[in-house]
Amino acid sequence: MKTQEFFVENIKCGGCLSTIKTSLMGLAGVKSVDIDLETEHITLTGSHINREEVIQKLNFLGYPEKCNNSLLSQAKSYVSCAVGKMSS
């Protein structure tokens, strides 16, 4: 098993955590997802994790890597957060 780490923007609460975890667990090769809410740090464990695919998924959800934030990403993250709260 290998790990990959990502530092992202816009993680605000448990709803965000739920959405991110559910989405990333659906990617090929991902076995576990650990997220630190305070530092906005995501650690993936698995085999053959496609880093670009993870980054694309995070961008789609509104959680871009640090220093790549935009107003659009912030808006997307609020929607993802709400979805995560409803599905928790």
pLDDT tens digit sequence for 4-61: 999 999 999 999 999 999 999 999 999 999 999 999 999 999 999 999 999 999 999 9
Joined tokens for residue 51: 């880093």
Q: How far apart are CA 5 and CA 28, in angstroms?
A: 16
Helix H or strand E encompassing 30: strand 30-36
pLDDT at 84 (0 to 100): 85
Phi, psi for residue 5 in degrees, rounded to 5: -120, 145
Hey, what CATH class is 2-87 in? alpha beta
Q: How many CA atoms lie within 13 A of 32 on its CB side?
A: 7
Joined tokens for residue 9: 């923007």
Q: How far apart are CA 30 and CA 39, in angstroms?
A: 21
